[in-house]
Amino acid sequence: MDIDITEHEEWFLSYVEREMEKEANDRGPMELKRRHTFAVLANARRMVESERPRPELARATLLAALYHDVARFEQYLQYHTFRDRESLNHGRHGVRILKEEKRLDGEPRQLAHMVLSAVGLHNSFALPGGLPGDTAFAAHVVRDADKLDILRVLDEHLSKPGPYSPTVVLKLPDTPGRCGGKVVAAALERRVAAYADLTCVNDFRVLLGTWFFDMHFAESRRQFVTDGHGLHLLKGLPDDANYGEARALLLAELEKYA
């Protein structure tokens, strides 16, 4: 499926360049988001290739993938964090930026609407019921593609010797010992854990593992396992009283699929 969104990709790159110039200190986190964006786009292309939606929907999906985190740059400039709770809702803010920048004015109206909905919803805990099928498809692809790359980012980061970047680990402490309550409970019930329940870096590993239950397409489940990031993140958990059971359950779940 040959969907050409080069013009949008070029705008995005120059936009990021422009935003990064405003940051006087560490631009690393913004660079990370630029790389993340293109990795998410590549993941989304893979899903679109295997699901084969009609061309207009394929285009909307890829544009939503490209633009899903467009607000991350303003968010970082203003607040120096990627935690929405401490700053702004970066999905909704992204919609605002795309409108202000008139990014979708050249696209058919329905297509533009799908892109904006998918960007606005990509970071919500779950999609609202009753979404039109096309919008739900685009949103699900972006959400799966996004999660798969967050696994990569976290696995790469946590595999390096510490200290961890507070921005990447959401300022969570990495204290060994007692932690892991609600997030572990979610894993044991085979449901997706919530960011709001994170108390430490190991909780984060578990949360990332529970995303497997939220993958929407066969291609995303396949990539989740074959990328190896999920497995590696889970194997990094201590096999102790707090985490052992969740660790074993999630690893078994992934290995079953492999």
Q: In terms of CB distance, is 69 or 253 closer to Fe ion?
A: 69
Q: In terms of CB distance, is 45 or 90 closer to Fe ion?
A: 90
Task: DSSP letter for 238, please.
Answer: -
Cβ atoms 62, 41 nearer than 8 A: yes
CB of 72 to Fe ion, least distance (A): 7
Q: Which of 69, 144, 155, 253 binds Fe ion (CB under 5 A)?
A: 69
Per-residue binding letters, 197-236, with Fe ion (x by CB under 5 A): ----------------------------------------
CB of 155 to Fe ion, least distance (A): 18
Q: In terms of CB distance, is 139 or 246 closer to Fe ion?
A: 139
Q: In terms of CB distance, is 69 or 203 closer to Fe ion?
A: 69
In whole angstroms, what is the distance from residue 81 CA to residue 72 CA? 9
Nearest to residue 206, comparing CAs of 190, 218, 219? Answer: 190
CB of 94 to Fe ion, least distance (A): 8
Q: In terms of CB distance, is 98 or 231 closer to Fe ion?
A: 98
In whole angstroms, what is the distance from residue 5 CA to residue 14 CA? 15
CB of 82 to Fe ion, least distance (A): 8
CB of 19 to Fe ion, least distance (A): 16
Question: Helix 55-67 vs helix 28-51: angle between axes, to the nearest 10 degrees?
Answer: 160
Burial 102-122 (b: 16+ CB within 10 A, else e): ebbeebeeebbbbbbbbbbbb
Q: In terms of CB distance, is 117 or 123 closer to Fe ion?
A: 123
DSSP states of 178-193 as a string? S--SHHHHHHHTT-PP
Cβ atoms 145, 43 nearer than 8 A: yes
CB of 32 to Fe ion, least distance (A): 12
CB of 143 to Fe ion, least distance (A): 9
Q: Does 74 bind Fe ion (CB under 5 A)?
A: no
* Residues of this chain, 85-144, that bind Fe ion according to CB under 5 A: 123
Q: In terms of CB distance, is 69 or 144 closer to Fe ion?
A: 69
Structure tokens at 179: 């932690």
Dihedral angle of Cα 140, 142, 148, 154, to the nearest 10 degrees: -130
Dihedral angle of Cα 190, 195, 200, 203, to the nearest 10 degrees: 10
Quickly tell me which residue has 């799966």 as its tokens: 144
Residue nearest to Fe ion (CB): 69
Structure tokens at 28: 């690393």
Q: How many residues bind Fe ion (CB under 5 A)?
A: 2
Instruction: Give the interface with Fe ion as residue ranges (CB under 5 A).
Output: 69, 123
